[in-house]
A and B are shown apart, each in its own frame.
Chain A
Amino acid sequence: GAVVSQHPSWVICKSGTSVKIECRSLDFQATTMFWYRQFPKQSLMLMATSNEGSKATYEQGVEKDKFLINHASLTLSTLTVTSAHPEDSSFYICSARGRIQQPQHFGDGTRLSIL
């Protein structure tokens, strides 16, 4: 089946640090990639959608200057949490999809802890 690789799987860093998370589709071309955030005991909340070669579309309430998304190729999208603070600590998950009718395939997620 389709595989999506997400790296790193966990990050612990100091407040004010910027953190980059990579999401790669390993065996298919991902026209669209999605970034979600999941707080403990809560559901997944979509943060933004990115299509290869174009600017990401952010959900309401998500700061685009805080969460920088780049989707430079059909197999790679990155999320950079800039100047991270403790309230940004969460589980960040990416997903990738080939065509609009196909299901999304999720990466393993990144646990981000900001001290």
Chain B
Amino acid sequence: GQQVMQIPQYQHVQEGEDFTTYCNSSTTLSNIQWYKQRPGGHPVFLIQLVKSGEVKKQKRLTFQFGEAKKNSSLHITATQTTDVGTYFCVLERDYGGSQGNLIFGKGTKLSVKP
């Protein structure tokens, strides 16, 4: 079935350093979503990318959707301790009666050393 690979699994950075997580799918995606989960918390929706080659920015976060719509990345510039958490790329199942169901990647756990 559909699945998405996400790397790295863990990333430890010094505060102020940049951070990037990558997501790859073997199939062409209709869209891709990104969620953030703080330790002990629930996933929070960050963004949805729909168009081929799309780039969206939210302050220090930059999201990209590949030209082939098979990969995506999240880049954080100058990380802060508030960026700590696990970042998930998420795709929507797009077949049959299960349209809209979310399939979560394994996530990248980011820790930031002050």
Q: Which residue of B lies closest to A93 (CB)?
A: B42
The answer to the question of A71 belonging to the interface, with a C-beta cut-off of 8 Å to chain B, is no
Contact of A103 among B45, B88, B101, B104 (CB under 8 A): B45
Q: In the complex, what distance in Å separates the CA atom of A93 from the CA atom of B101?
A: 14
A46 touching B103 by the CB < 8 A rule? yes
Q: Which A residues from 65 to 115 make CB contacts under 8 A with B?
A: 93, 95, 97, 100, 103-109
B100 touching A97 by the CB < 8 A rule? yes
Interface size on B, residues (CB 8 A): 19
B2 shortest CB reach to chain A, Å: 12
The answer to the question of B85 belonging to the interface, with a C-beta cut-off of 8 Å to chain A, is no
Contacts of A100 in B (CB 8 A): 99-100
B106 touching A34 by the CB < 8 A rule? no
The answer to the question of A49 belonging to the interface, with a C-beta cut-off of 8 Å to chain B, is yes
Contacts of B104 in A (CB 8 A): 43-46
Contacts of A93 in B (CB 8 A): 42-43
A103 touching B33 by the CB < 8 A rule? yes
A46 touching B102 by the CB < 8 A rule? yes
- Bitwise, A43-71 to B at CB < 8 A (1) or not (0) is 11110010000000100000000000000
Can you name 5 extra interface pairs (CB under 8 A) apart from A46-B101, A57-B97, A109-B41?
A34-B101, A34-B102, A43-B88, A95-B43, A106-B44
Give 29 pairs: A residue, B residue, CB < 8 Å, sorted on A. A34-B101, A34-B102, A42-B106, A43-B88, A43-B104, A43-B106, A43-B107, A44-B43, A44-B88, A44-B104, A45-B104, A46-B101, A46-B103, A46-B104, A93-B42, A93-B43, A95-B43, A97-B100, A100-B99, A100-B100, A103-B33, A103-B45, A104-B102, A105-B45, A106-B43, A106-B44, A107-B42, A108-B41, A108-B42
